[in-house]
Amino acid sequence: MNVRRSAAVLAAVAVIGAATPAAADPSPSPSQAFPSALYGGTDPKYDGVWRQSLALLAQDTVGVQPAAKSVEWLARQQCADGGFASYRPDPTAACDAKTMLDTNATSAAVQALIALGGHDDVTSKAVGWLKSVQNEDGGWGYSPGGASDTNSTSVVIGALAAAGEKPDQVVKGGKSPYDALLKLALPCGGDGDGAFAFQPDKKGGLAANADATAAGVLGSLGKGMVVEPGEKSDTTCEKATTPQQAAANGAGYLTAALTKDDGHLMSALAGAEPQPDHGNTADAVVALAAQGDTAQAEKSVRWLEKNSAAWAAQSGPAAYAQLIFAAHATGTNPRDFGGADLVKQLNATGPAPRTAGETKAADEKDDSGSGSSFGIWWFVGVCLVAGIGIGFLFSGRKKKQQP
């Protein structure tokens, strides 16, 4: 679960290989107007729904009630067939054949909206869409019809589980999502030693990928983004004939990788020096906690407490959400995370959460995803009405304002 999985996996679809986090977008120029209900201030083209979903899910996890307009913005991003794109600037415009639907964004939205409640119609349609685009091998790619990859298959499993589905019974071509994950798990021994690959390369080979392994462990366990510590199991690498064994093997790989680099994972972007990978480390913490390897998870979350502040501040809401998920999984206080209040920092990236007694109607006032132009034109309309003295028109316009 990279901070920018949508951008990362989109790039990986074009060039088969390991999923890597994309660089943070620059701050928007004054001419750019993003929805006021959206979390984060960077271009949401590739990750708007993803980061919104993670932000809302993290708030719910720590008992914060998100602004209703932010929840409604997310729900309105859905297309009529049930799928979500990475971001739709104008959710009032119908989706068409050019709309690039996204299994990752759809699955993240399902997990967030189910946790928050009140959107059963949206989530049921989304789950139906996910089932309709399942591949014959039982897995999912980032885009419908794309080759199955570990990250996408795993996040869909999380959505299915959140919706009360049994992932092993969601079958296409006689194969379940777990069958797809087992095919992407590396054998024991060698450099891979039980890890998961993102996708096979052009020759069908599998290369160990830490990000995919963290996702694959959660997927194999049938877990979503928010987990409670699991029961400790044997992490001796053995041939993975079951998803549970694949999860244990992957957890063993992650533990070895984290131990090697002083409690954190490293990224190895092409042409750049390896550097600490905060996002993948946070995801590894969640995966290990779910598997029951709490000792290593706690060691790594301590590293995050000491070293993640600058990364999270630069990366934005999804990064804060990842850290909150890691804190939750290890019983760490997210409001005192190495001296930082992750909850306060996340809340500051978007609309203020609802407070006790706040009415939903007042909170839902929004620009409906079209930037700040609505308020401007409404003001212009008021001025014109005042100029021609037709008071009843002003009243009618006000009644038609959409929340």
Question: SS3 for 196?
Answer: strand
Residue 182 is predicted with a pLDDT of: 98
C-alpha span between 395 and 383 (Å, rounded): 13
pTM reported for the whole predicted model? 0.84
Per-10-residue mean pLDDT of the chain, 403 residues long, equals: 45 38 42 85 97 98 98 98 97 96 98 98 98 98 97 98 98 97 95 95 95 98 95 82 96 95 85 90 98 96 98 98 98 98 98 74 49 37 39 37 39
Q: What angle do CA 85, 153, 124 make, to 5 degrees?
A: 55
Residue 199 is predicted with a pLDDT of: 97
C-alpha span between 263 and 182 (Å, rounded): 27
C-alpha span between 366 and 161 (Å, rounded): 32
Residue 271 is predicted with a pLDDT of: 75
C-alpha span between 15 and 10 (Å, rounded): 9
Longest dimension (CA), the chain: 82
Residue 359 is predicted with a pLDDT of: 52
Residue 254 is predicted with a pLDDT of: 97
Q: Which of 70, 54, 41 is nearest to 6 (CA)?
A: 54
Question: SS3 for 323?
Answer: helix
Question: What residues does 277 pair with on adjacent strands?
Answer: 265
- The distance of Cα 84 from the centroid of its chain, to the nearest Å, equals 13
C-alpha span between 350 and 373 (Å, rounded): 19
C-alpha span between 56 and 360 (Å, rounded): 16
Q: How far is CA 41 from CA 46, 51, 165, 187, 317, in A?
A: 13, 11, 35, 42, 9
